[in-house]
Amino acid sequence: MADFDAIVVGSGCAGAVAAHELASAQKNTLVIERGERNGAKNMSGGRLYTHSLAAVFPEYKTEAPLERRIAHERLSFITDDACTTVDFSSGQMLVPNSDSYSVLRAEFDEWLSSKAESAGAEYINGIAVEGLLKDDSGRVIGVRAGDDEISADIVILADGVNSLLSKEAVGFKAPLPSTMAVGIKQVIELPEAVISDRLLSQDGDGAAWLFVGDATHGHIGGGFMYTNRASISLGLVATISDLFTAKRPIYQMLEDLKAHSAVAPLIKGGKVVEHSGHMVPEGGLKMMPPLTADGVMLAGESAMMCINLGYMVRGMDYAIAAGMHAGRAAAAALNKGDTSAAGLADYQKALEDSFVLQDLRQFSGFPHFMESTTRLFKEYPQMLSDVMNTLFVVDGRPVAPLKKSLKPIVKQVGLINMLKDVRGGIKAL
């Protein structure tokens, strides 16, 4: 008999939830997390759409360490000295379970894991799983961590974007640098009231703000800002392969963004308390590995379940939902006594029926659109700035007819190119 019914590798969003579901179904479950505390190794931009959390923990609103409800959506196109912003807020964004909150992962993951633990999951912390145990037929039958070999009827890999195990589990080769982005972030402390004032937010509410253009000095990617209760998360996400030709390293880009006239006043007087880095998968459905093999399943970013649309990064809600479905499917397979790939087929089906794989399918053309529409990051922010300057700058010279002033601006990119890009964008979304 195996040591455990199930072993979950990693206690991030997907792992903790999978373990919670298994333990709640009375399965003897072990979680192995390499961080000494759960969350110690994890970083995200920090905005959690709550719908998938609500499906597992209806009580989350009063229990989870949520920072601020996001009540303002801002998207800015920036050049070195200009910033054109769309600022959106709506009642619909605030409807419970259609809303979203900023989170800080150290605290959030600790809470998630406490839910799994109270449901009965056992934890080993501070040790990384180094390899998988397989039987002669190639079926996964456990894990190797340090000198220990621990067996289980099912192993769930929820070890995140930098999984060193997915190759052994399902033959997934390390992804290409063109399908992955690097994220860099600083947490900048500021008094709670100052943040509310600067972001025009009510108590407890805050903003999400994305910056396209000069944030990455024209490279593919963008800047992000999320308000936490008493700090601001500020960072950048940029496609790794595209940075290979950048004049400035990513950390200098972040420093430049902090000094940009649109950002500097937001963080003025703030104190950097942490500097972090983490990757974001952005290849979408096309880069996804198989989700199961005999005795093993993948949930969350170990299976590249993430979308980066430029104006939105989503991965946590996918990971939570995938963790839920993985845990439930694993429990059902254990009940049937069949944890082969065939016995786990319901997992794939549950994800196909849910927003997880439907969204990833919906956006499967988007990575290509971003990659091939580099004008988004250079020409369009500049064009917007030129148009706005034409509209708003008054210097006493006679004003030319708008049509005449706009013509040379639009001509730089070309009307046809613009139409092509708009069409491409709409198609990809």
Partner 1 sequence: MSAKSNTITVANENSSNDFGLEKGLKTAIVTAIDSLTVNTDEYLALNKYEVDEANAHIELIDNPSEEEFLKLVRVCPAALYKIDAEGKQSFDYAGCLECGTCRIACGDTIIAKWENPQPTMGIIYRYG
Ligand X SMILES: Cc1cc2nc3c(=O)[nH]c(=O)nc-3n(C[C@H](O)[C@H](O)[C@H](O)COP(=O)(O)OP(=O)(O)OC[C@H]3O[C@@H](n4cnc5c(N)ncnc54)[C@H](O)[C@@H]3O)c2cc1C
Would you tell me which residues interact with partner 1 (CB under 8 A)? Answer: 34-37, 39-44, 104-109, 126-128, 130, 146, 161-162, 164, 174-177, 180, 182-184, 186-187, 231, 240-241, 243-252, 254-255, 272-279
Non-local (6+) Cβ contacts of 260 within 8 A are 78, 80, 83, 211, 214, 215
Non-local (6+) Cβ contacts of 74 within 8 A are 85, 86, 87, 88, 207, 208, 209, 210
Q: Which option in ligand X, partner 1, none does residue 315 bind, with CB closer than 5 to 8 A by kind?
A: ligand X
- Alpha-carbon distance of 326 to 321, in angstroms, equals 8
Question: For residues 340 and 355, which CB has a smaller minimum distance to ligand X in the complex?
Answer: 355
Residue 206 corresponds to which tokens in the numbers above?
């805050």
Q: Which option in partner 1, ligand X, none does residue 272 bind, with CB closer than 5 to 8 A by kind?
A: partner 1
Question: For residues 116 and 188, which CB has a smaller minimum distance to partner 1 in the complex?
Answer: 188
Question: For residues 355 and 410, which CB has a smaller minimum distance to ligand X in the complex?
Answer: 355
Contact status: 45 vs ligand X (CB under 6 A): yes
Contact status: 10 vs ligand X (CB under 6 A): yes
Question: For residues 229 and 387, which CB has a smaller minimum distance to ligand X in the complex?
Answer: 229
Burial label for 134, CB within 10 Å (0-12, 13-18, 19+), is middle
Q: Which option in ligand X, partner 1, none does residue 319 bind, with CB closer than 5 to 8 A by kind?
A: ligand X
In the complex, least distance from residue 396 CB atom to ligand X, rounded to whole angstroms: 45
The CA-based angle 174-327-99, given to 5 degrees, is 85
In the complex, least distance from residue 183 CB atom to partner 1, rounded to whole angstroms: 7
Question: For residues 11 and 385, which CB has a smaller minimum distance to ligand X in the complex?
Answer: 11
Contact status: 74 vs ligand X (CB under 6 A): no
Per-residue string for binding with ligand X, 308-337, x by CB under 6 A? -----xxxxx-x------------------
* 3 state SS of 311: coil
In the complex, least distance from residue 11 CB atom to ligand X, rounded to whole angstroms: 5
Are the C-beta atoms of 67 and 101 separated by less than 8 Å?
Answer: yes
Are the C-beta atoms of 71 and 207 separated by less than 8 Å?
Answer: yes
Q: Which of 8, 24, 29, 33 binds ligand X (CB under 6 A)?
A: 33
Non-local (6+) Cβ contacts of 404 within 8 A are none
Question: For residues 316 and 357, which CB has a smaller minimum distance to partner 1 in the complex?
Answer: 316
- Alpha-carbon distance of 44 to 107, in angstroms, equals 12
Contact status: 113 vs ligand X (CB under 6 A): no
Question: For residues 254 and 306, which CB has a smaller minimum distance to partner 1 in the complex?
Answer: 254
Residue 186 Cα to chain centre, angstroms: 16
- Nearest CA-CA partner of 300 in 87, 127, 156: 156
In Å, the largest CA–CA distance within the chain is 87
Task: Kindly list the residues in this chain that would bind ligand X in the complex (CB under 6 A).
Answer: 9-15, 32-35, 41-48, 128-129, 158-160, 164-165, 183, 185, 235, 237, 278, 280, 300-301, 306, 313-317, 319
